[in-house]
Every structure is written in structure tokens, then in C-alpha cells.
Structure 1
Amino acid sequence: MVERLDKLFHDEKETYAKFLACRGPSVQRLLDLLQDFLDYDINLATMTRRRLFKALIRLSGNSKIHPRCFTLTGLEQGRLVAGGSFADVYKGSLQGQTVAVKMMRAFDESDIDSLLKAFGREALIWRQLCHPNLLPFFGLYYYQTRLCLVSPWMENGHIRAFLKKELCDTDHLLSLILDIALGLEHLHEKGIVHGDLKGDNIFITPSRRACIADFGLSSIITPISSIQFTNSSKRTQGGTIRYQAPELHKGGHNDLRSDVYAFASLVYEVRSPWFRY
């Protein structure tokens, strides 16, 4: 089955287009099947895995449906703790565990579809990742018409806040930098560009280790050329200016190299005394 799907996604453009146009009850089964293959077939070749992953993202985006294993129940929203351009973060509870709830903001009806697609895409990318230095993803929750992404609550906050209140020696700082490097290495091995690596997106776990979060600007790349599978220039050009490589300011796109530049900028900040103030 996997070999047949891989051939379809790679060689049969017309059939692939029909696959992506699939609607009705069958689309849910197809999404569940693709996610099952990604979860349980550890022997998938790298390019096969990426083609299945790409198909999952495109089919989910087109149909506005997610694999059923993503859906959570019994979430308590809690209090608002932070806000961004497109989402608010709440401190909530799920089955007795404190969680962070990233909830998309309510906008005009014309914006809801694009926001749902963006949030759903972030969830799909995040769901495929599992590494000690990447923030875990628990699942999706709908609050009325607003989509929420749920992850563990990090009481220590992001690395900038942590270093403002904690005195860390050189060994601990180097350990945190290594954690970030290992998390980024794992992303790149999976063919994923983070796209917005910065202090606010590095969280400190209860064991005082660093983990990378926020995959809203992440994209999928080919392993050889770093050409992006996605064709959204707006998404791939996003990020935080002071962490962006010079070529991005000239209209370039995020890739593995721009992530490395952002990592270097972050290391410089972490090692600088003014970063704590």
C-alpha cells in the first residue's frame, strides 16, 4: 500500500490531483491512513516519508479536516497569559495536567479559512516530531469556531525569561545551546525548516533543558536542494527580523542555512550579558 501511494504521489500527477480533490467520508479515512503510516511504519524511506507527509498536509489543507487522532476532549481553557499577532496563549488543564493552549484569534469571516488552514498545517508538522529538545504536541481542540493547539505548560517560560531570573554558569549555558542545536538538527534531518528560531520560541523544561517550540512558519524541504515543497512565499518569508539571514531581506526564502543563521544569532544573544536584561 505504501509503495502504491508513493508511486502515485511521485509519478501520477493526474491521479494525485484527484486524490487531493477527494471529499466526503473517504477523505477522513485517507487522512487517518496516511497518519497511521507515518506513525507506525518505522522502515519508511526518507523520501517516501516526506512524500506521504506532503500529501497529508495538502489533503488536510484542501479538505479542512485532520486525522482523528489529533482531536482532544475535556480541555479546560484557563486564563490568558500571552498574545501574538494571530493567536492567544492560555494556561489550561487537560486530564489533570497543566497545558498551554494556543488559540487562534477571532477575525473576520474572510480570514477564518486561511487561519484554520495555517493552524492545521502547523499541527500536522508538529505532530510528526518527537525529540527531547522539541516541545511535545498533545493535539487539537476546537473552542467554538476557533482552533487550538495544545502542548505541555512550561513553567520556566522561554529562554529569555529564564535567563533573566536564573543565574546560569557557562556549563549550563553551553548545555542549553547544545539542546537547541540537537533539536534543530532533528528538524533538519526530518526535512523541516523551522523558519522562526528565536529566544521567545525556546522553552525551558522542568529539568532545565531547552526545547524548540512554535512551528507556525515551518516548511518542508527536499533533502538535496533545499527547494521548498510549499509554494507560499508569505509563509516562508515570515520570521523575526533580527534573526533573519541577510538574503531573506532581499526576497529570499527560509531554508536550512537561514535556520543556521538564526541559531548563530540566538547563541550570540544567550552568551551575551545584555540578553538577560
Structure 2
Amino acid sequence: MNAEDVKTVSKTHPSVLEPAVSCTAKMLCLEVIAWKELKHPSILEFIGIYHEQRAEYQPGFYLVSPLMEHKSTKSFVANQDVSVSEINRLLRETLAGLAFIHEWGFIHGDVRAVDILVDEKKHARLADFGLRTIITRADAVAQNFTAGEEKATNARWLAPELLHVTSYSAAGDVYAFGCVVLELYTGEDPFPNTADTLIHGQVSGYVKPWSQPPKSAKPPSIRRTMGGDLWNLVQKCWSRDPKGRPTASDALDEMYKITGGRG
């Protein structure tokens, strides 16, 4: 996709260019191949690649995707009087996207409310497939992080067993989904009263991101109460044993039961 292609697409299909300058050519190719395969209503659409000719040390590659009118779920629930039923629908759609990529043998590795976007029809779209984490085959995960670099940033969402390894897992995605439930109901990040410098100790000590069901959200004008059934599902997602967590598909089925079926 060249500059003229991007201009043509943008006229009929509002899009966003995400820089991929931190990726090597090999990583970028893997990322594109993976993303291009993942076509689902709850997955952000991949349009193409735009290459801007720049200096040799600045490759200037961009991944092109549709522009999401309502930005992330985090900002969407913070800026509007969004109902509990709408939040639960966004959570179901997120699980549908996770279940889909897991069935294909992929993992996400960075599931957070800021990485779940909201389109013009107010539906959730799972995004961020590689600018900070490269989607890889679940049976051959090999991400080379410098110790304390990437995972220190997102450790609040990280399953305890992943804290000191260089691979991600489907069970880790499910753990992070439990944190997303917390984010959308409370407007807070996991471990809301814990300083960044203490997060690693909390996670490695198997302290849960929240100790009791949240009763209200921020801003104060938006109040949401989490039902006991949903809180129980969150607790399962946060199981200390990865094998004790539901799969994304099982969690989706449970979400439908909690919220009154698939109709």
C-alpha cells in the first residue's frame, strides 16, 4: 500500500496510521500475516501497510486500520453515562474476540481497556496486535523482552506466572480480561491504591488486583454495581493456577448466562 492507496482509502474509510518503527522487518511481516488472518466482528480490521520513505535509521512503516470513533473502552465508559448492560455487552464482545484468536492458535498478550476500541456503532474491537506485543503462535511463543522493560509497564494486568518469563499464554489473556472487567466497572486500573514500584511484589505474591466487588465508578456521576455472578467469574479469571481459569470461550458462555442469554 503506497501513499496514494492510503489517501484513497481514507476518503471512503476513515483510518488511522499506527507507527511500527520499533519492529524489525521480520517481526512486522509476522504481525501483518497474523492480523490479516483474524477477521471477526470483535477484531479491529487490518487495511494495509503504508511506507513513508525516511532516513535509513527511521523505516517509517505504518499499519493502517479503521479510525475508531469512540476511541478505547476505557475512555468510552469514562466520558459517557454508559449503562451496566452496555458494559456487559462490550465485555462479551471482547471475550468473543479473544475466543476467536485463541481458537486460531494466537494469543494477544496485552489485553487492557485501552487496547479494546469502540467503533461507530459502539461495539468493542480488540486491537493492538503488535506495536508493543507481537502476536505469535500459541505453541511457539518467543518474545525477547529486556528484563523489566515491557512487562514493568503493564504488570498490573499480568498474570503472576508470566512475571518472570518471556512468553505469553491464553490463560494470561483471560487473567487480563478479569482486570478489564474491573477497569470498565470502576474506571480504575488494577491495584488502584498501589504505587507502580510495588506492583511486581504484589503480582508475584499472588495478591489479587481488587479484593472486593467494586460498588461505584469514577467519575462519581456514573454509578455501576457489579453483580455477584460476574464477580465470581472475575475471581475464576484470576485463579492462581492457570489451569483453573476458564478458557475465553467458556468465559463467554458464562457471560451470556450472567447477562441473560445470547438474544
Given candidates 232, 249, 253, the residue that maps to 2:143 is 232
Using the TM superposition, give the Cα deviation of residue 134 of structure 1 relative to its aligned residue in structure 2, in angstroms. Answer: 0.4
Question: Match of 1:138?
Answer: 47
Question: Match of 2:104?
Answer: 190
Distance across 1 between alignment mates of 2:86 and 2:141: 37
SS state at 1:234 partner: coil
Using the TM superposition, give the Cα deviation of residue 155 of structure 1 relative to its aligned residue in structure 2, in angstroms. Answer: 1.4
Distance across 1 between alignment mates of 2:187 and 2:40: 29
Question: Match of 1:123?
Answer: 32
Residue 140 of structure 1 contacts residue 149 of structure 1 at CA under 8 Å; is this kept in 2? yes
Structure 1 gaps, min length 5: 1-70, 78-91, 106-111, 222-227
Distance across 1 between alignment mates of 2:165 and 2:141: 16
Q: Which amino acid aligns with 2:13?
A: Q
Query: For residues 223-249 of structure 1, what are the alpha-carbon distances to aligned partners after superposition, in whole Å with 9 as ceiling and x for unaligned?
Result: xxxxx32433429x9552111001111
Using the TM superposition, give the Cα deviation of residue 121 of structure 1 relative to its aligned residue in structure 2, in angstroms. Answer: 2.1
Residue 116 of structure 1 contacts residue 147 of structure 1 at CA under 8 Å; is this kept in 2? no
Aligned residues, how many? 179
Question: Match of 1:21?
Answer: none
Superposition RMSD in Å:
2.4
Q: Which amino acid aligns with 1:254?
A: Y
Q: Which amino acid aligns with 2:183?
A: E
Tell me which protein shows more strand as a share of its residues.
Answer: 1
Residue 75 of structure 1 contacts residue 95 of structure 1 at CA under 8 Å; is this kept in 2? no
Q: Does residue 219 of structure 1 match 2:136?
A: yes
Residue 143 of structure 2 contacts residue 166 of structure 2 at CA under 8 Å; is this kept in 1? no
Using the TM superposition, give the Cα deviation of residue 276 of structure 1 relative to its aligned residue in structure 2, in angstroms. Answer: 4.6
- TM-score, normalising length from structure 2? 0.62
Distance across 1 between alignment mates of 2:157 and 2:29: 25
Residue 141 of structure 2 contacts residue 167 of structure 2 at CA under 8 Å; is this kept in 1? no
Question: Match of 1:94?
Answer: 10
**Aligned in 2, Cα 1:193/1:76: closer, same or farther, shift over 3 Å?**
closer
SS state at 2:163 partner: helix
Using the TM superposition, give the Cα deviation of residue 220 of structure 1 relative to its aligned residue in structure 2, in angstroms. Answer: 0.7
SS state at 1:200 partner: helix
How do 1:149-228 residues align onto structure 2 when only pairs under 5 Å count?
Answer: 149-216=63-130, 217=133, 218-221=135-138, 228=139
Residue 74 of structure 1 contacts residue 94 of structure 1 at CA under 8 Å; is this kept in 2? no
Using the TM superposition, give the Cα deviation of residue 265 of structure 1 relative to its aligned residue in structure 2, in angstroms. Answer: 0.8
Query: For residues 172-214 of structure 1, what are the alpha-carbon distances to aligned partners after superposition, in whole Å with 9 as ceiling and x for unaligned?
Result: 1110110101010001000101011101110001111111001
Relative contact order (C-alpha < 8 Å, sep 6+): which is higher? 2
**Aligned in 2, Cα 1:230/1:246: closer, same or farther, shift over 3 Å?**
closer
How do 1:34-113 residues align onto structure 2 when only pairs under 5 Å count?
Answer: 71-72=1-2, 74-75=4-5, 94-105=10-21
Residue 141 of structure 1 contacts residue 147 of structure 1 at CA under 8 Å; is this kept in 2? yes
Residue 245 of structure 1 contacts residue 258 of structure 1 at CA under 8 Å; is this kept in 2? yes
Using the TM superposition, give the Cα deviation of residue 74 of structure 1 relative to its aligned residue in structure 2, in angstroms. Answer: 1.6
Residue 196 of structure 1 contacts residue 238 of structure 1 at CA under 8 Å; is this kept in 2? no
Distance across 2 between alignment mates of 1:273 and 1:251: 29
- TM-score, normalising length from structure 1? 0.59
Distance across 1 between alignment mates of 2:143 and 2:155: 19
